[in-house]
Amino acid sequence: MPHRLGRLAVASLHAELACAPKPGLVTPFDRGSHDDMDASTFLRSLFALRGYFVAIAAAGMADAPFATLRQRGIEAERAMLRATGGVNTHRGAIFSLGLLVAAAARLRSQQHAMPDGVAVCNAVGHWHDALLDAPLDPHSHGQRMRRRHGVAGVREQAAAGFPLLREVALPTLRRALRAGVAYDAAMAQTLLQLIAHTDDLNLLQRGGRDGLRFAQRSARGFLEAGGVAQPDWRQQLSRIGDAFVARRLSPGGSADLLACACFLQRQEAA
């Protein structure tokens, strides 16, 4: 089971990378708003992280303490930075997706069944107190943005059972797939919903409050006009992407959650 969940996690991160167009984010066709990374950087990182997701699934299956999960994450971040030459491609996913993989493995070992995505999100609450008590790096970009703008970060999202995944991302992805939408379009729809609803620390870091609001307005406008049901949705997202790049905006937190939603949906049948 750990190997199966680990493969699903890496496949979900690859699906997020492959999704295009994706405003401000790296795709196989462009760098988005990034000068220091491209698709090959992400692929090197994914290769380096394969063992991490298997290891954290095994830790979850064994009901290991949170300290063990945290140490696996620290080791994975070091492996990522070695593979990318110091570029942060997947720090957020190492945390969020790693926790969800561990929670899915723990549930499966206890219930001997495939849990649905919402149950996996809620199961992260098992580590609620440890998550909130874990030490933080006060000098990280995310922590500076949290203090400056007074917004919750991914740690609070995790401790609350990832409400954005339960209430926004998973329902959007499921609705789109039930409607017969192609998987890449369903992921694009889900990403724009996440951008519209998330106080994305990456957007705050790059554009401040004005940048975050611009990104959220752009996403809402796309969705209110019909989202991926519009015949020219790809062209519209490309235009939004041009505007993001002009402002150096990159919704990296939303992209991490998109990969998590992909994993949660796929693990239900794996």
Residue whose C-alpha is closest to residue 25's, from 246, 258, 241, 257: 241
- Total-model pTM: 0.94
Into how many domains does the chain fold?
Answer: 1
Per-residue model confidence (pLDDT) at position 140: 62
- State residue 154's pLDDT score: 84
CA-CA distance, 270 to 8, in Å (whole number)?
A: 8
CATH number at residue 253: 1.10.4200
Are the beta carbons of 118 and 167 closer than 8 angstroms? no
pLDDT band, very low/low/confident/very high, at 223 (cuts 50, 70, 90): very high
Kindly report which listed range (99-113, 141-155, 247-261) carries the lowest average pLDDT score. 141-155
- More confident position, 20 or 134: 20
Q: Are 29 and 237 in contact (CB under 8 A)?
A: no
Q: What percent of the chain has pLDDT over 70?
A: 94
Q: What pLDDT score was predicted for residue 132? A: 87
DSSP string, 154-208: HHHHHHTT-HHIIIIIHHHHHHHHHTT--HHHHHHHHHHHHHHH---HHHHHHHH
Report pLDDT for 139. 55
Give the integer Cα–Cα distance in Å for 174 and 193.
Answer: 13
Proportion of the chain above pLDDT 90, given as a percent: 87
Find the mean pLDDT for residues 142-155: 68
Please tell me the distance from the alpha carbon of residue 165 to that of residue 179, in angstroms, as a whole number: 20
* Boundaries of domain holding 221: 2-267
Contact 263, 12 (CB under 8 A): yes
Instruction: Please report the pLDDT score of residue 112 as a whole number.
Output: 77
- 55-101 per-position pLDDT tens digit: 999 999 999 999 999 999 999 999 999 999 999 999 999 999 999 99
